[in-house]
Chains A and B, each alone.
Chain A
């Protein structure tokens, strides 16, 4: 807490010091640079366009210099509207009285009439103040060196340069019409032009349209020949009662009527009808004048600043250039082109580029998407074609397989039929022999015939089993819900009847159901039972159990006997066709029964397997879907 308070106190003290320092610096600067007073004496009124442009350059330049504290005064020698010697006198008296107590540092005069006025009254008015002028007429040397100092810029006449430029842009020109006029009808501009343009007569005809009334002027310019141009110098004309048309307003009317291009020298006229010309730019004059004023204010002796020419620039009106089909490239270097109408492209270049880029990108994306879609479609078509081909091939293969299968069926059928016929012959005739010639056979003859009989039986059984197996393979499945108990009971009854001896059948089958092919299921169970009966034939008390166990999806049925059993290493082989484990004499069989069981189970989605130990009986299982 204590430390914090000490710190803030220190900060307070420091900021106080800083404020003091800053204040003293500012005060020092103020005292070092006293305010300067500059008076500008304009010709014409405050609103005269040339004056406005001049002020733009002049004031902007001076105000941009922070080292000068300036008080600016403006006065107007409005001799156009207030002509006459008396008016001039009155202005003199007015200014003399107004500024008698003021120390003016620099007086600026623009243009010539303002300078003439100042020089006329110099002995009394601003006698000790240097004058900076903007004028057309260069003052005489003695005037320049007299008094408190006089310097400035000369607005050179640019009529020759402008005419040269016009003739270069319009080489076919034969006539040049020079327009000028003053309310006083004093032909002063014509005189200047005649002087200035002397020497051009050899190349072109110079025609002076001087001091014409606006209506006459308009009529006159309407009928100008094609191969001519207008050099518009200056014309201010009174129309009707007291209204005075400014030079640019006259120009506007000329421009509307003239069938030929107009050139001129005033920057103000650019925009009112002239194609262009070397113009004196008032704003630039203002800038240059301000430079001189600044130098004088900063102590440079006025006499040491030479009188310089005001710069003129080739300036054009873009719209007029367009009208006369003049390309910008044919203009002199450094030309200023005003009123340029930006083309849509120039105006919206970046937006257009952006939009075009966006569209291009979008187009590209769309193209890519389309290409991708096409590719995908092609791929899909290829895939479809391939699938169709595959389908066709599968169909062909299936048809071929079916044909093969039918062929095999016919084959099995024929084999059985054809094998049985001779078998019937063997059996039939051996039996006839045995019965009809019983007493007449010697030695083992009868025994042999009995062996023939037994062999025939065996072969018959084999053929039957094979037929059953093959029939099983091609039989159609009829899968349905089957109640287990009745089918098991009836099969057990059947076996009990068939068995030559008493067998203990233990049936423990509750009301379970399976999803199976009835014929396949009963054939499988029958074969299991046959097997159990067969392999318990040498057991003292044969016992066969039939049981079931169900879970959610399947039902397992088993047939357990207490017969001779088998080695578990053969547990799978016994289900293969023609695989027999017992000796034929002891346990006759064809080796097809269990193969039929497995086949039946495979076809109905079930499973068949067996477990056993030699001498410890065997258990045969069926697993069937529920």
Chain B
């Protein structure tokens, strides 16, 4: 649903290091019947590695869900590189994190994230979040072809 475009459906990139969160996110999107395929980068490095694939011609994600706390390269660093990249800076980035710290919120917006969502503990709310993400960043925000 909500897929109004005619071209191939662009994926959603989830940057998340916790398998449980990956699984729950996937299920939440499934509950909302989101059709966009969910690509997963299990840490910052893997997320950066996608840059090459996009350069090689793979379709850009319609939005990136980015966890902040990750080993090696953390979410803020990934965000910084994305937003300073000439081609990928337009990809909407939704920070999806446990952190309620003011400085994380401030820093994320300063670096150019499009939305900042605190991961709810309750699964119901998580499903709501998935719905809103799909609505704002996948359906409405989709560039008309």
Contacts and interface: CB of A to CB of B under 8 A. Distances in A.
- Tell me, yes or no, whether A binds B: yes
A428 interface: yes
Contacts of B99: 413, 417
B69 A417 contact: yes
Nearest to A419: B98
A424 B120 CA distance: 8
A421 B21 contact: yes
Contacts of A416: 98, 100
Interface string B38-74: 0000000000000000000000000000000100000
A420 B121 contact: yes
Nearest to B118: A420
Contact of B21 (A424, A431, A475): A424
Contacts of B120: 424
Most buried by A among B21, B99, B100: B100
A432 B27 contact: yes
Interface residues of B, number: 18
A461 to B, nearest CB: 9
Contact of B121 (A413, A460, A471): A460
B18 A421 contact: yes
Interface string B7-42: 000000000001011001001000000000000000
Contact of B98 (A420, A428, A456, A457): A420
Nearest to A436: B27
A423 interface: yes
B88 interface: no
Interface in A463-486: 464, 467, 471, 475
Interface stretch (B105-113, B122-130, B135-143): B122-130
A354 interface: no
Given A417-B69, A432-B27, A456-B121, A424 B126 contact: yes
B121 A427 contact: yes
A425 interface: yes
Nearest to A420: B98
B83 interface: no
B80 interface: no
B123 A432 contact: yes
Contact of A417 (B20, B98, B126): B98
Nearest to A422: B20
A464 B122 CA distance: 13
A422 B69 CA distance: 15
B81 interface: no
Nearest to B125: A427
B124 A424 contact: no
A502 to B, nearest CB: 27
A613 B134 CA distance: 53
B139 to A, nearest CB: 24
B76 to A, nearest CB: 14
B102 to A, nearest CB: 8
B20 A428 contact: yes
B119 A420 contact: yes
B101 A424 contact: no
B18 A428 contact: no
B84 to A, nearest CB: 26
A437 to B, nearest CB: 14
Contacts of A456: 121-122
B101 to A, nearest CB: 6
Interface in A401-456: 413, 416-417, 420-425, 427-428, 431-432, 456
B98 to A, nearest CB: 4
Contact of A424 (B20, B69, B100, B102): B20
Nearest to B68: A417
Contacts of B20: 421-422, 424-425, 428
A428 B24 CA distance: 7
Most buried by A among B100, B121, B124: B121
Nearest to A468: B100
A284 to B, nearest CB: 120
Nearest to B17: A421
B43 to A, nearest CB: 15
Nearest to A457: B122
A424 B121 contact: yes
Contacts of A422: 20
A416 B119 CA distance: 12
B137 to A, nearest CB: 21
Contacts of B21: 421, 424
A413 B18 CA distance: 17
A201 B139 CA distance: 161
Contacts of A475: 102
A423 B121 contact: yes
A69 to B, nearest CB: 129
A458 to B, nearest CB: 11
A429 to B, nearest CB: 8
A456 B99 CA distance: 18
A428 B123 contact: yes
B100 A467 contact: yes
B119 to A, nearest CB: 7
A419 to B, nearest CB: 9
Given A420-B98, A420-B119, A424-B24, A431 B124 contact: yes
Given A413-B99, A467-B100, A428 B126 contact: yes
Contact of A427 (B18, B69, B102, B122): B122
Given A417-B69, A421-B20, A424-B20, A431 B101 contact: no
A358 B106 CA distance: 80
A12 B127 CA distance: 143
23 contacts: A413-B101, A416-B98, A417-B98, A417-B99, A420-B98, A421-B18, A421-B20, A422-B20, A424-B20, A424-B24, A424-B119, A424-B120, A424-B123, A425-B20, A425-B24, A427-B123, A428-B20, A428-B27, A428-B123, A431-B122, A431-B123, A460-B121, A460-B122
Interface of B: 18, 20-21, 24, 27, 69, 98-102, 119-124, 126
Given A417-B69, A457-B122, 20 more contacts: A413-B99, A416-B98, A420-B119, A420-B121, A421-B20, A421-B21, A424-B20, A424-B119, A424-B120, A424-B121, A425-B24, A427-B122, A428-B24, A431-B122, A431-B123, A456-B121, A457-B121, A460-B121, A471-B102, A475-B102
Those 7 A-B pairs whose CB atoms lie nearest each other, nearest first: A428-B123, A431-B123, A425-B20, A460-B121, A417-B98, A428-B24, A420-B98
